[in-house]
Amino acid sequence: MIETEIVDTKIRANKLLTFGFAILWLGATIYIFLLHDEFPNKYLSISSFIFYLIGSVILFKITFVKPKAIGDLRITEDFIEFNLNEIQKKFDLSALKKLTLTYSGYATWTLNFWGSKNYLHLEGDDGQSYKFEFLIKNKTQKENLKNIFKSPPIKDKFNVKPLNDYDLNTF
């Protein structure tokens, strides 16, 4: 069994402000690393360094921002249960028409402290479709998820195969 959170990791920012700041960060980077020796200017150097530093902090901060939990997800070998936006559903595996897992890993210090983005898409026999983004936080959760998706009820009913270069043995 695996219990985890359904999350929303989309960052909503003003596109015009983001584009403007990206241009300033790019200009600061070019000045600091390419043009500083040819055009020394104290004020331009300081302002470029400030824009470069702020841009770098914003760029790397994305991996440190905790995703917003919007629900709970529980997966077992017999059922999938979720609570999302005041909607609570429980599906027996026999009642599912479609089950798709997109696995991208679990939390590591090189990728994301909170967990990698993993997606689950399921469709019940009533035709209702649900898509979730959830986190696998550690190796134990990864192993539990692997065992669930290799279990006979899921493996027999659904075509379980690795996407991209993932192998279920290394999953």
Domain-located, residue 170: no
Residue of 112, 103, 5 lying closest to 65 (CA atoms): 112
Identify whether residues 30 and 82 lie together within a single domain: no
Residue 113 has a pLDDT of 57
Identify whether residues 78 and 57 lie together within a single domain: no
For the chain, give the mean pLDDT.
Answer: 80
Domain-located, residue 166: no
User: With 90 as the cut, is the pLDDT of residue 110 above it?
Assistant: no
Residue 72 has a pLDDT of 93
The whole-angstrom separation of Cα 65 and Cα 67 is 6
Residue 12 has a pLDDT of 67
Per the structure, the count of domains in the chain is 2
Domain-located, residue 72: yes
Domain-located, residue 165: no
**Domain stops at, among 61, 80, 101:** 61
pLDDT top residue among 161 and 90: 90
Domain-located, residue 167: no
Domain-located, residue 43: yes
- Nearby residues of 150 by Cβ (< 8 Å), 6 or more positions away: 160, 168
Identify whether residues 90 and 45 lie together within a single domain: no
Domain limits at 146? 2-6+68-157
Identify whether residues 80 and 151 lie together within a single domain: yes
pLDDT top residue among 137 and 44: 44
Identify whether residues 36 and 99 lie together within a single domain: no
Identify whether residues 22 and 102 lie together within a single domain: no
**Domain stops at, among 38, 61, 84:** 61
**106-112 long-range CB contacts below 8 Å, 24 or more apart?**
106/136, 106/137, 106/138, 106/139, 106/141, 106/142, 107/135, 107/136, 107/137, 107/138, 111/63, 112/63
The 10s digit of each residue's pLDDT in 32-49 is 999 988 888 899 999 999
**Domain stops at, among 42, 61, 80:** 61
User: With 60 as the cut, is the pLDDT of residue 116 above it?
Assistant: yes
Query: Which pLDDT band holds residue 64 (cuts at 50, 70, 90)?
Result: low
Identify whether residues 72 and 147 lie together within a single domain: yes
Query: Which pLDDT band holds residue 169 (cuts at 50, 70, 90)?
Result: very low
pTM: 0.66
